[in-house]
Chain A
Amino acid sequence: MSLQDKYKPLTDAATAAGVSDLQVREQDGILYIDGTATDGKTKDQLWDVYNQVDPDYRSGDLVLNINVTPAAAGSKATVVTDESNLNIRKGPGTDQPIVGKAAHGASVTLLNQTNDQWWLVKTESGEEGYAYARYLKAE
């Protein structure tokens, strides 16, 4: 079974969910699916489908890179850490100094989401810096 066939439920789901810029490419025996979802929920749904096709993502034959359409600058995001504070850093990287913190459940203002991993945000107390995108949920 070709990789495209194996992951057809995923590409079908992506198409049905209206994922834009959907690209499905096979290179050196690995399938690369790229696209942009309108929201984080759609992205999570697609990862669920991936998990159904390839339980616990064990096969190593797919790189699924679904981005979420950036929210408008100035819109809000919620801090979705497990329970701890979210570090706000000077630059995009954990090697960068911490310039502030945002509490679990707090709201921050999104300033720039051009980096997939690190978003530039402003906390409620006015600190500006980079936070890891995994812990932010656009409202």
Chain B
Amino acid sequence: MKKHTLTAFVAVLLFTSFTLFSCKSKPSDADIQAAIATAVSTIPGASAASAAVKDGVVTITGQFTDDAAKSQYETAVKNVKGVKSVQDNANVQPQVQAPVTAPVEISADDALNKGLSDAVKDFNGVQASVKDGVVTLTGEIKRSDLPKLMQSVSSLRPKKIDNKLVIK
């Protein structure tokens, strides 16, 4: 009887220690969560991403700035002890192409001259000259006509409009 009690006691002790030991070797979801936080803390481009742990299965959601950050994050999570599998549901931020700014097209002086003669024809008293793309307007104009003339001249694609017109 005494012997049985002892055996039972030892068994319980063994079982308990085994359970404790196994608990230690198998981290809880909270432990995994904390370990992931540390593991991914230095990955750039992952600030909008997050990982959730349930029964050792990690689900990644949110957004990464690029593919490299996404795969780096996923690898870091997989390497955390206790992670059984990783479900990566996160996406990558669409790359905004920096607009390539084409240089401004400036018309040649010949084309400007031709266009200018059309543009000023109906404004008596206005003279226009061109040099290296710069249009110089001289003479007199009515204030109400100025926007019309400026619009016409601007549409010819000059380099610059030097408005020296006297406004009547």
Contacts and interface: CB of A to CB of B under 8 A. Distances in A.
B155 A94 contact: no
Interface of B: 101, 103-104, 114-115, 117-119, 121, 143, 146-148, 150-152, 154-163, 167
Nearest to B101: A25
A117 B160 contact: no
Given A25-B104, A57-B146, A93-B114, A117 B152 contact: yes
A94 B117 CA distance: 8
A28 B104 CA distance: 10
Which of A23, A58, A60, A67 has the most B CB atoms < 10 Å from its CB? A60
A64 B154 CA distance: 6
Given A65-B155, A93-B118, A94-B118, 7 more contacts: A27-B104, A28-B159, A48-B147, A51-B147, A56-B163, A56-B167, A63-B159
A6 interface: no
A60 B164 CA distance: 10
A60 B154 contact: no
A60 B163 contact: yes
B147 A132 contact: no
